[in-house]
Amino acid sequence: MATVTTQASVAGFRPCVSRTRFLTGSLGKLNRKVSIRQSSSSYASFKVEAKKGEWLPGLTSPAYLNGSLPGDNGFDPLGLAEDPENLKWFVQAELVNGRWAMLGVAGMLLPEVLTSAGILNVPKWYDAGKSDYFASSSTLFVIEFILFHYVEIRRWQDIKNPGSVNQDPIFKSYSLPPNEVGYPGGIFNPLNFAPTLEAKEKEIANGRLAMLAFLGFIVQHNVTGKGPFDNLVQHISDPWHNTIIQTFKRKNQRNKKGFTSSNPTRPVTRTRSFSPPSSAASLADRELSIDELSLFEDLRISPENPNPRSFPHSVKQQCWEKAEKIKGRDPERWRRDPLGNILFRKLVGCPGCLCHDYDHIVPYSKGGKSTLENCQVLQATVNRSKGNRTEMSKSDLIQKSAYCRVSGRDMDLLELSAYGNVRHGQDSGGCKIQ
């Protein structure tokens, strides 16, 4: 309840109630209470309090939102909760979604922070689905669907008929104590917190904030390709150049460049040979030109391969831990394996394998825009497509690599272009598929 306390002279103070006009043009009294308290001096203190159920001063709350519910500030501009049955359902839906959002936000932030601090070593939340588990993703989906379906049916029954699911249907000796819908208590409240109105208000407020934060994380990753903690660290490292304005500006420039490059009137050559520099080190020792930067500004492997070769994250991590640190490079981002291949930390969690014991894949390197001009993109495509076969015909190779379009995301790809392993054919100077 918002409270404002001030003082005014008794002789000059005259309480009044004025009428205000909101956006709709309707007139209504300000929903305020004014109280006067005589002080010891010649001044009187008065307090203005916003009544419960007023999310915007001067706007009358709907009659069905009378302030009796936790978090009720009279906000329902579309009138969705006018039906009492709908209101009952929306109350429980917001409560459950808020709880899931709080767990989700914590599950996004904590692993990212702890991994960045070196305490844990787990994939980022947006790469978690790429990891290998004890069962396939389709199997896990079916199991989760069945389990959640059962739980949600029981919750729906409790909303329709409060207390009807307190008795455990399997373990007959266990039952929940009488409770309010949405606050089951018992095993779900191990610390025995009392469901006071203040606690309910705090839970709803934090749940609403978490739902907005969750949505913000999704949008943020879609725009920047990074998580919230990585973006925060990037902003703190250079607060004048890493802001939301610069982020959208860079994304807009990339979109414009992608539109220009996709113009059908522009000739595209896919068969000319391309010879990368003979030494990756020579590229690393000099500044990249504007033309070279444009080659890697939009690099990424398109996820159109339905069955990429994949190995457990633990296997990839063992490969990373055994890799040699590179002098002058960040040891948490760049390493060299026993075969001399450069490993990039961000790609360890990607589909495919980055370990030399199986198939070493460096998806990015200096090369042309087309697939056949980029040795490492082509090599990665072959490794993911050939399966158990040891060789592929030229026609199969072209067919398998035709969908492998490249585009880029951040400055890390410029480093990949400098440190990626580009293999040369001894005769033509082109790509050598191994």
Known binding-site residues for chlorophyll b equal 99, 176
- Burial of 389 (C-beta count, 10 Å sphere; 0-12/13-18/19+): exposed
Reference 298, options 234, 251, 266; nearest CA is: 251
Q: Enter the tokens of residue 173.
A: 């000796």
- Residue 185, Cβ neighbours under 10 Å: how many? 17
Backbone angles phi, psi at 183, to 5 degrees: -130, 75
Element spanning 97, H or E: helix 84-116
- Residue 295, Cβ neighbours under 10 Å: how many? 21
User: Contact, 352 vs 404, CB < 8 A?
Assistant: no
Binding residues: 94, 99, 176, 202-203, 206, 208, 220, 235
Give the contacts of 406 (CB within 8 A, at least 6 positions apart). Answer: 298, 299, 300, 301, 302, 364, 369, 371, 374, 377
Q: Where are the beta strands (DSSP E) in 30-171?
A: 32-38, 43-50
Binding residues for chlorophyll a: 94, 202-203, 206, 208, 220, 235
Q: Enter the tokens of residue 122.
A: 């787990």
CA 374/CA 251 separation, integer angstroms:
24
Angle at 336 between CA 331 and CA 340, to 5 degrees: 165
